[in-house]
A and B are shown apart, each in its own frame.
Chain A
Amino acid sequence: MIKFLFKRLLLTVPTFVALMFITFLMIRLVPGDPIEVRRGERGISPERLEILRHEMGLDQPIWKQFGDYVWGIFHGDLGTSVISKTPVLHEFLTLFPATIELSFFAMLIAAGLGIPAGVFAASKRGSVYDQSLMGIALTGYSMPIFWWGLILVLFMSNTLHLTPVSGRTDLIKYFYPAVTGFATIDSLISGQKGAFADVLRHLILPSIVLGTVPMAVIARMTRSAMLEVLEEDYVRTARAKGLSAWRVIGVHALRNALIPVITSIGLQVGTLLAGAVLTENIFSWPGVGHWLTESIARRDYPALQGGILLIASIVIMVNVLVDLTYAAINPRIRYGK
């Protein structure tokens, strides 16, 4: 097992190196540089442009810039944003909790609704319930989420006033320092009455929007996994022995059916982060998705390099974890390919 872990981790090293190189190179291939973007219609004289480029180190040869960048990474320095002049790591860490929080609640909704729906649909296979649940799941799976988000805001917030429009907290009523960056935890630490409920209210709509596609995927997957398990001999035996349907489905079948579902949740981290870009855009959510798209627009090289590197590392690490879980469950993988 240790050997497998070591091998798996070793394999990620070239991926990381390539990742560093590619993000570095691609961002510099984007036309326009951060100084000119910042200047807008006012423009800049070539002499001053040279001075500022020199100051930012943009006039150095590419290989030197790359060298400095890699050198920095090995010293835990991801560089400093050219726009805000704050360290990229610091900026990432202030924004990332918002994204994690949103993704976590989206996943909670997705799994909390998707798994029961899948189990129920499988147990009533072919019935009206099954068909309508799977119809809903298919709709969710096919949903353009940016459109879905806008429609929900339009109805839930603007027309019915059920949920707040955007943001993470009610800024007038509550103010607490961002100790952890997770608004749910910070609101609890602050001890202010109603603050936690307020945070949840703000989370509802964005979580539903971001959770819609994973929810559909989970529901569909749970259903087919359940159907497969229900066909297995031990379930049939249990049924034949006269165990109640609920006991058969709830205890025996579900436990086995959930294994592929849970691993698929792990693999959805990348999808969630991509969805977060659009969701954060719609709900003015102060997360990394929004930050990355803005950094591209502003040609904030260090922010973009660092941000993509960090996010990709997380995705890679989660994938390694999923592989390890698999290997732990299924020894064949370890010794096979």
Chain B
Amino acid sequence: MVSETISLPKPRGAFASFWNSFSENRGAVIGFYVVLAIVFIAVFAPILAPYNPLEQFKGATRLPPFWIHGADSKYWLGTDAVGRDMTSRLMYGARISLFIGLSVMLVSMVLGVILGLASAFYGGIVDVIIIRVMDLIMAIPSLVLEILIIAVTGPSLLNTVIAITIVYLPRYVRLLRASAIAELSKDYVTAAKVSGVGKLRLMLVTVLPNCTAPLIVQAALGISDAILEASGLGFLGLGAQPPTPEWGAMLADTRDLMQSHPWVMALPGLCILITVMAINLMGDGLRDALDPRLRKS
């Protein structure tokens, strides 16, 4: 490790400067730690959760959380309509939400990068087709398109991811295309072209690294948006299927208890809100740190 630090001082310096400006933003740091905590809970849910999230405790249904009268100290966030421990379900729910957020982000980013670069480099008919298809996706209200895709493929967690990925694709494609076109007109690219660098190499090695800053910011925000979108679908009963403890689906399942047992509905919503907010805070910090133009102002 030591020799590496010495032999490669430059990347460390870049990271240090990034971290410096990132940690200037108090909100971003808080967000970062909350995200870290959620990731921790998600990863270690089997150890942390007091019960199996699918186990139903007969006679212990619809118990309130500890601060409300009538709670049972065995289930400190209460139980749901069929007597499953809320604490455990919410913890496992973090896994599912993060899984959705990350997989949507990864897949749509990779596809978006490929399509965006292809569109910028090849231009002409390739560009026109890609951009028209993206326009098409954006013209249909996102939720309606997702519902339609899921209606065709059948409701499941995987299909939720596919549907949201398709809907989010245009953001990455447009971003990459715009950045790449901007980069292409710069001198270093011309220089590389003149010196005979291959197209693929030019695309992936010369241009792409210079588009990463906006991409990282978009990716961070993409995770939180995907989590929100998935919970919306879960709420309409089209996301994760029972008995999976997905937050949106947990909310939808207990909508009939809204008036009689409001807390059953309040908790999953709060989890979604906190997770999404933490990621957004972090994303804001990332943007400020990575975008030098904004950093100065």
Contacts and interface: CB of A to CB of B under 8 A. Distances in A.
Real complex partners, A and B? Answer: yes
A237 interface: no
Contact of B151 (A228, A270, A296, A312): A296
Contact of A144 (B143, B231, B284): B231
B197 interface: no
Contacts of A18: 132-133, 136
Nearest to B277: A142
Interface residues of A, number: 53
A252 to B, nearest CB: 17
B181 A337 contact: yes
A27 interface: yes
Interface string B242-283: 000000100100010011001001101100110011001100
B275 to A, nearest CB: 8
Given A147-B251, A150-B258, A277-B144, A139 B273 contact: yes
B143 A15 contact: no
A308 interface: yes
B1 interface: no
A29 B143 contact: no
A15 B181 CA distance: 23
Contacts of B204: none
A151 interface: yes
Contacts of A141: 280
Interface string A144-157: 11111011001000
A115 B258 CA distance: 34
B142 A147 contact: no
Interface in B125-150: 132-133, 135-136, 138-144, 147-149
B143 A14 contact: no
A218 interface: no
A316 B273 contact: no
A278 B132 CA distance: 28
B140 A312 contact: yes
A144 B281 CA distance: 16
A15 B135 contact: yes
A315 interface: yes
Interface in A145-192: 145-148, 150-151, 154, 158
A154 B148 contact: no
Name which of B135, B258, B277 has the most chain A CB atoms within 10 A of its CB.
B135
Contact of B141 (A142, A227, A274): A274
B14 interface: no
- Going nearest first, the 4 A-B pairs with the smallest beta carbon separation are A147-B269, A312-B139, A142-B276, A142-B277
Given A142-B224, A147-B268, A273-B141, 10 more contacts: A29-B152, A30-B151, A138-B284, A142-B276, A148-B269, A277-B141, A278-B232, A304-B148, A319-B135, A319-B138
Interface of A: 11, 14-15, 18-19, 22-23, 26-27, 29-31, 135, 138-139, 141-148, 150-151, 154, 158, 224, 227-228, 231, 270-271, 273-278, 281, 289, 292-293, 296, 304, 308, 311-313, 315-316, 319, 337
14 contacts: A15-B136, A15-B139, A27-B148, A139-B273, A144-B231, A146-B235, A146-B251, A147-B235, A147-B268, A224-B294, A274-B142, A278-B143, A296-B148, A311-B141
Interface of B: 27, 132-133, 135-136, 138-144, 147-149, 151-152, 154, 181, 224, 228, 231-232, 235-236, 248, 251, 255, 258-259, 262, 265-266, 268-269, 272-273, 276-277, 280-281, 284, 294, 297
